[in-house]
Amino acid sequence: MARDQTSRNDPNGRPGGYSGGHSGVPGREELLFLPLGGSGEIGMNLNLYGHAGRWLMVDLGVTFNRDDGPPGIELIMPDPTFIAERSDKLVGLVLTHAHEDHIGAVPYLWPRLRCPVYATPFTAAVLRKKLAQANLLGQVPLTEIPLSGKLSLPPFEIELITITHSIPEPNCVVVRTPLGAVLHTGDWKIDPTPLLGDVTDEDALRRLGEEGVLACICDSTNALVDGHSGSEASVREALMRVVAGRRGKVAVTCFASNVARVETLFRVAQAHDRHVVLVGRSLHRMVEAARETGYLADVPPFVTEDESGYLPRENQLLVCTGSQGEPRAALARIAAGDHRNVSLEQGDTVIFSSRMIPGNEASILKVQNGLLRRGVKIVTDRDAPVHVSGHPARDELVAMYQWIRPRIAIPVHGERMHMTAHAELARECQVPETVVIENGSMVRLAPGPATVVDHVQAGRLALDGHRLIPQGGTHWRERNKVAHNGSAVATLVLDRKGRLTTSPLLSVHGVLDPEGDAELRAAAVQAIAEAIESLPPDVRLRDDEVVREAARVAVRRAIHAQSGKKPMTAVHLCRV
């Protein structure tokens, strides 16, 4: 009978199987797996393997702040504290592919790790551009690994196996130790006609299965989707049909990293007497990286945004960033009418050649509504097969388990419902053991049955300007409070006898109407003055903290009585 373990929290917040505290130093006779990001969520991947006193990291990615997050935050990434405190034990970081949720945190977190980084040529080219922006290009030891290459990082032996996904050069990573081989799939699918790059190396996976696989750490994104994910070749055929006969401009939004889709759009434009215009910086960076590594070799330079103004509308095919409704991406700005170079109008068409990632629905619908107000026609994958997923559906997961036949299946890269469905499917495929985990769950893969032996810190860091702040920390909480309740600043001037020399000054943001709430503001100012005057003279004279607190409470009570809000409040006190 298949053995299933689900990591559940005990009353103290620790998972089932908690041992009372693993040392954090892997034993010579044990093999550990520890995700710090990407388990119980889609995105923000950070995975660790531990053996014989050393750790190996696979991927280091980000996720993006959603509409319900605090304002001013764009990127969120895993908290690497556990491994940063053990960076002398970290033998290296191996990157499976160049998507943001797998490499995007490297420029921000590498200074805490200072380990060697390994990637195939395309992923390395994309990463170099990021490191250059962060002024780290000469500091990070980045080594290119050839496709299907091998690497020795004692006590780990690494092999890459070529697979297909929605970006050039995706890889499965085989992590070998004396205790067994682990297949870390990264993001993958089975695409017999990927159009760009090699097909999945089924022979290598079958050979690995014959050798014996201890555990498979596997993508769960589409574990609830029956059948197959589909092929890029079918998307090219669909886009050829959809663009045919369209009048005006045609804009297509897709993931910038899908270089095969960009090449498809060039072929589609060529077939319909249109020129491709790239709109969005990330598209230009991806195309540059692709050309540097030998892809798009027979595709001529694309038209720039500035040059597009000289082309007739019916001869343009725009490729735009912003398929997920990102507010600063090209398509959102076009929909709002504030893009510097590009506009869409009545009779134009936008094709969403992408999937709606869970959590982004509101942002995407906002962009689509903006386009519809401009009279722009919208085509999505509900109208035509203009997108296929880059992740394995259930039939592909079954094929993988048939090829490699692991002893243990650990679903990752999915929310809880995806990972639970994935574990059930693995058991149906006769995998003896399955473990459903969460970020911070330390799993002992060997020796013995797979067991959660500890739970470590696995928080999140948010990029706030140039700083990284902990999600849920004081700064984060204050930002949320200001966003929801506004802010107020009161300024008091007291003389040497502790008396107000003038009426308190009150500045309120995001709560009161600057023009229509003058009487309410005056009432709040009066409440501050009365609170100060009610304090005993000796307190007003000597205890600044009590005076500030009395003013703060008066402001919050007065504004709450008028508006129902309790703003973040600061009090400046001057004595003259």
- Per residue, the 3-state secondary structure of 121-186, as one string, reads HHHHHHHHHHHHHCCCCCCCCEEECCCCCEEEECCEEEEEEECECCCCCCEEEEEEECCEEEEECC
Tell me whether residue 195 is exposed, middle or buried, using C-beta atoms within 10 angstroms of its C-beta: 0 to 12, 13 to 18, 19 or more. middle
Of residues 13 and 529, more confidently modeled: 529
Q: Are residues 367 and 261 in the same domain?
A: yes
What pLDDT does 133 receive?
Answer: 94
What pLDDT does 74 receive?
Answer: 78
Helix (H, G, I), strand (E, B) or coil at 96: coil
**Is 204 inside a domain boundary?**
yes
**Is 477 inside a domain boundary?**
no
C-alpha torsion sign, points 177, 178, 179, 183: positive
Sorting pLDDT into bands at 50, 70 and 90, what band is 514? low
One-letter identity of residue 341: N
16: pLDDT strictly greater than 60:
no
Q: Are residues 347 and 414 in the same domain?
A: no
**Which residue among 339, 356, 379 closes a domain?**
379
The domain tally of the chain equals 3
Q: Are residues 33 and 95 in the same domain?
A: yes
**Which residue among 326, 345, 379 closes a domain?**
379
**Is 93 inside a domain boundary?**
yes
User: What is the DSSP secondary structure assignment for residue 497, as one 8-state letter?
Assistant: T
Sorting pLDDT into bands at 50, 70 and 90, what band is 15? very low
Residue with tokens 């804009």: 251
What pLDDT does 278 receive?
Answer: 96
Which residues sit opposite 455 in a β-bridge?
A: 441
Q: Are residues 507 and 537 in the same domain?
A: yes
**Which residue among 379, 404, 430 closes a domain?**
379
Range of the domain at 394: 3-227+389-449+460-470
User: What is the DSSP secondary structure assignment for residue 300, as one 8-state letter?
Assistant: P
Measured torsion, CA atoms of residues 104, 107, 113, 114, in degrees rounded to the nearest 10? 130
Scored b (16 or more CB within 10 A) or e, 445-464 reads bbeeebebbbbbebbbbbbb
**Mean pLDDT of the 429-453 span:** 97
Sorting pLDDT into bands at 50, 70 and 90, what band is 189? very high
Q: Are residues 393 and 357 in the same domain?
A: no
**Is 161 inside a domain boundary?**
yes
**Mean pLDDT of the 249-259 span:** 96
Least confident of 157-166, 246-255, 417-426, 463-472: 463-472
Give the pairing of strands 215-219 and 180-184: parallel
Q: How far is CA 14 from CA 4, 7, 26, 33, in A?
A: 18, 9, 20, 17
- The rounded distance, in Å, linking the Cα atoms of 186 and 180 is 19
Q: Are residues 83 and 207 in the same domain?
A: yes
Q: Are residues 343 and 409 in the same domain?
A: no
Sorting pLDDT into bands at 50, 70 and 90, what band is 22? confident
Residue with tokens 């090219």: 236
20: pLDDT strictly greater than 50:
no
377: pLDDT strictly greater than 90:
yes
Averaged pLDDT score across all residues of the chain: 91
**Mean pLDDT of the 458-465 span:** 88
